[in-house]
């Protein structure tokens, strides 16, 4: 960190997590340098092989943002003096960063903030919902592209939300003496095994990180198994639990929604739409005015999910098809827009969280809990294991393995609104118990932005 340019108070000596005072982690050893050299060769070859396809990519729907991925940063970003660079992978991680961005704005109002995201949808949400000075897609890790971007910007620090361990990105930060801090970090057993194919490379990469704020003790153990020095690792909790919901809107996001029992299937992945529709089949016979909101995780799946709904033979409409109305005969609304899911959660009777039946490790089970909604999820929750376990133990969540299980849970909540309200309150209590993650994270990050913990 460059203290003379810090807009908060000057960093205190000895405040660095690694105890060195430099705050920029460790340089790779000989094995790490060799691993990085191999990584550079593979990345350069991949870049050369992909070059002939670039004109076709630019002409396709995937062409949006290619220039940013190739290192052409937005003018607004290049004009910032030594910003703090925050990186989040996609929508969930971007929203998880919102409390931290808010804290930075309050406590270091003069500090320029820039965010990069891996996905276009994450970029859109960052622009719409966060108070940032600039937003960009993350330059690719190959051919030293991210190196050149960091030399142009020379950020005062890099904050990684959750665990985006791009070796080139971490090296680029170290080369411009920008300390790297991981916040709300998580590392599943599956990810640890995946990183194992290049253990020397990732060991060298994580040694570049000055401080790790991990979500759980298990995450901390796994990041240390990957090579992070134990003295730099701390358990700070999940920022997703720190995100407080806004006041409930006075009106629903769709006309015709109020008064109908709304069931939400959030962040669904392939196969999970069929799972939820199967659960709802008999429920419509029990309660014909049920409205199911299907919110696929990825926008590129919207059309495919529409085909799934059509084959199910239910009456549906796409959210984008009408500006603000839902037909009284509609059984399913396909949420084919970005960034609107949280507007529907205050009106839900219950929520199913995706990525948990599909073998993907689970998406954020605490998001509906923050809104005081009963949460159901499948058995694949290794990414959110502690939160899922707490929800089940405290009676705010339910594990479902088959469509019939989800149907049974939702049937009880539909027939007994008071039961649904009580289960939602218990889910909210779990989220509240995790809500000190923001202060824990701030205490970890503050020395690297020249502020007091």
Do residues 394 and 370 make contact, with C-beta atoms less than 8 angstroms apart? no
Token digits of residue 201: 């490379």
The count of C-alpha atoms lying within 13 angstroms of the C-alpha of 107, restricted to the half-sphere facing its C-beta, is 18
Give the whole-angstrom CA distance, residue 233 versus residue 148.
29
d(CA 429, CA 391): 9
Residue 162 catalytic?
no
Q: What angle do CA 290, 292, 293 make, to 5 degrees?
A: 145
CA distances from 322 to 1, 146, 313, 315 (A): 50, 41, 20, 15
DSSP 35-103: HHHHHHHHHHHHHHHHGGGHHHHHHSGGGTTHHHHTT---HHHHTSSSPEEEEE-SHHHHHHTHHHHHH
Q: Residue 129's closest CA among 107, 103, 163, 97?
A: 97
CA distance 170 to 142: 13
Q: How far apart are CA 356 and CA 362, in angstroms?
A: 4
Would you say 198 and 226 are in contact if contact means Cβ atoms under 8 Å apart?
A: no
Catalytic residue among 4, 68, 93, 129: 93
Active site residues: 93
């Amino acid at each position: 960190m460059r203290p003379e340019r810090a807009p908060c108070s000057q960093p205190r000596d000895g405040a660095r997590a690694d105890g060195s005072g430099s705050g920029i982690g460790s340089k790779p050893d000989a094995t790490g340098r060799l691993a990085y050299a191999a990584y550079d060769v593979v990345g350069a070859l991949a870049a050369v092989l992909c070059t002939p396809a670039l004109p076709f990519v630019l002409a396709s729907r995937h062409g949006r943002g290619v220039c940013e991925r190739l290192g052409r940063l937005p003018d607004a970003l290049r004009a910032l003096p030594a910003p703090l660079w925050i990186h989040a992978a996609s929508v969930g991680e971007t929203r998880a960063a919102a409390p931290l961005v808010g804290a930075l704005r309050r406590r270091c109002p003069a500090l320029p903030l820039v965010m990069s995201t891996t996905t276009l949808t994450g970029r859109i949400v960052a622009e719409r919902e966060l108070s940032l000075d600039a937003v960009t897609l993350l330059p690719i890790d190959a051919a030293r592209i991210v190196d050149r971007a960091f030399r142009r910007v020379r950020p005062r620090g890099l904050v990684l939300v959750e665990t985006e361990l791009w070796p080139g990105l971490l090296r680029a930060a170290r080369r411009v003496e920008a300390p790297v801090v991981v916040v709300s970090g998580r590392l599943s057993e599956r990810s640890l095994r995946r990183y194992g194919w290049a253990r020397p490379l990732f060991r060298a990469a994580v040694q570049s990180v000055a401080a790790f704020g991990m979500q759980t003790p298990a995450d901390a153990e796994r990041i240390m198994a990957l090579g992070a020095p134990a003295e730099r690792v701390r358990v700070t909790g999940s920022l997703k639990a720190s995100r407080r919901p806004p006041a409930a809107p006075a009106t629903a996001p769709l006309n015709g929604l109020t008064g109908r029992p709304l069931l939400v299937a959030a962040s669904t992945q392939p196969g999970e739409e069929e799972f939820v529709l199967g659960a709802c089949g008999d429920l419509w016979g029990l309660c014909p005015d049920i409205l199911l909101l299907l919110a696929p995780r990825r926008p590129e799946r919207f059309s495919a999910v529409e085909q799934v709904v059509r084959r199910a033979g239910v009456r549906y409409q796409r959210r984008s098809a009408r500006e603000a109305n839902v037909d009284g005969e509609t059984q399913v609304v396909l949420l084919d827009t970005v960034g609107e899911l949280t507007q529907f959660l205050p009106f839900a009777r219950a929520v199913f969280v995706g990525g948990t039946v599909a073998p993907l490790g689970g998406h954020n089970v605490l998001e509906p809990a923050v809104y005081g909604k009963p949460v159901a999820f499948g058995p694949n929750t290794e990414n959110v294991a502690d939160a899922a376990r707490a929800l089940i133990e405290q009676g705010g969540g339910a594990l479902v393995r088959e469509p019939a299980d989800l149907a049974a849970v939702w049937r009880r909540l539909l027939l007994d609104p008071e039961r649904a309200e009580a289960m939602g309150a218990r889910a909210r209590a779990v989220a509240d118990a995790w809500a000190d993650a923001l202060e824990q994270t701030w205490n970890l990050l503050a020395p690297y932005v020249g502020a007091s913990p």
